[in-house]
Structure 1
Amino acid sequence: MRSSTYKTQFVCFTVLVSALFFLYAFCGNSSAQDFKTLHPGVEYAHVDQKLGNDPVKINLLRLDLTKVRLDVHHAFEKALGVEPTSEIAKRNNAIAAINGGFFRKDETEFSGDAAGVLTIDNILISEPTLGRIALQIRNGNKFTEIAMQHLRFGGNIWWRHEELEEVVKGINRERKSGEVIVYTPEFGKNTKTDSSGLEVIIRGKRIVAISANNSAIPKDGWVLSASDGAASLLRKMKVGDLLRPAWSEISDGRPNMSGPPEDITNGVSQLLMNGKIDITWEREKASKSFAEMRHPRTAVAKLKDGKFLMITVDGRQPGVSIGMNLQELAEYLLSIGATDAMNLDGGGSTTMFLDGKVVNTPSDKEGERKVSDAIVVTLRKKVR
Structure 2
Amino acid sequence: MRSISWVRHSVARGIATLLLAGCASGAHRSDPQAAVQATAQALGPGVEWWQYRDARGPWRIAVVKVDLTQQAVQLRAVHGRDSLTGRERPSSLAARLNSDALPVRVAINADFFDLRTGRTENNQVTDGEWWVGRMVSDSPFDSYDNVHSQLAVAHDGRASIARYVLDARAWGRGGVIPVLGVNHAPSGTFEGTVLYTPRMGGRTPRDSAVRDSVPPRRVAEIPLRAVGSRGDTIVYVATTAPVTSAGTPIPADGAVLSASGDRVPSLQQWREGDTVRVWLGTQPALRDARPPAQLIGGWPRILEGGVNVATEAPSREGTISRNAEARHPRSAVGLSRDGRTMWLLAVDGRSDSSVGMTLVELADAMRALGAWDALNFDGGGSTSLVIDGRLVNSPSDPTGERAVGNALLVLQRR
TM-score (norm 1): 0.80
Residue of structure 2 in register with 1:208 after alignment: 239
- Give the AA of the match of 2:158: E
The one of 62, 65, 71 equivalent to 1:62 is: 65
Aligned match of 1:79: 84
CA distance in structure 2 between the aligned counterparts of 1:272 and 1:304, rounded to whole angstroms: 11
For residues 232 and 112 of structure 1, do their structure 2 counterparts lie closer, same or farther at Cα, with a shift above 3 Å needed? farther
Give the 3 Å change call, closer, same or farther, for CA 323–164 of structure 1 in structure 2.
same
Please state how far the C-alpha of 1:119 moved relative to its aligned partner.
0.6
Pairwise CA distance, 1:335: 2.2
SS for the counterpart of 1:200 is strand
Is the helix fraction higher in 1 or 2?
1
Tell me, yes or no, if structure 1 residue 133 matches structure 2 residue 149: yes
For 1:104-146, what per-residue CA distance to the aligned partner results, in whole angstroms no more than 9, with x for missing partners?
332xxxx232311111111222124333211112464xxx322
Q: Secondary structure at the match of 1:246?
A: strand
Structure 1 partner of 2:96: 91
Task: Write out per-residue CA displacement over residues 183-241 of structure 1, whole angstroms, 9 at most, x where no aligned residue.
Answer: 11222222232572442212243432334222211122211224566656545554445
Contact between 2:65 and 2:342, CA under 8 Å: does it hold in 1? yes
**What corresponds to 1:176 in structure 2?**
187
Report whether the alignment pairs 1:370 with 2:380. Answer: no
Identical amino acids, percent of aligned pairs: 30
Residue 267 of structure 1: aligned partner:
298
| Structure 1 partner of 2:341 | 307
CA distance 1:25–1:230, shift in 2 (3 Å): farther
User: 2-side partners of 1:372 and 1:188: how far apart?
Assistant: 17
- The change in CA–CA distance for 1:32 and 1:174 in structure 2 (over 3 A counts) is farther
CA separation of 1:219 and 1:90: change in aligned 2, threshold 3 A: same
Query: Equivalent of 1:352, from 385, 397, 400?
Result: 385
Report SS of the residue matched to 1:332. Answer: helix
Distance 1:148 1:33, change over 3 A: farther
Q: Secondary structure at the match of 2:316?
A: coil
Aligned-partner SS, 1:61: strand
- Tell me whether 1:330 sits opposite 2:366 in the alignment: no
In structure 1, what residue type is equivalent to 2:131? I
Q: 2:129 aligns with which of 123, 126, 143?
A: 123
| Structural mapping, 1:286-301, within 5 Å | 286-301=319-334
8 Å contact from structure 1 (residues 177, 227) kept in 2: no
Partner of residue 308 from structure 2, selected from 277, 291, 310 = 277
Is the CA contact 1:31–1:47 (under 8 Å) kept in the aligned structure 2? yes
- Residue identity in the other structure for 2:115: K
Check the 8 A contact 2:171/2:276 in 1, yes or no. Answer: yes
- Name the SS of the counterpart of 1:370 in structure 2: coil
* Contact 1:136/1:265, CA 8 A, preserved across alignment: yes
Superposed, 1:24-63 pairs within 5 Å as 24=27, 30-31=35-36, 33-51=38-56, 54-63=57-66
Backbone CA RMSD of aligned residues: 3.1
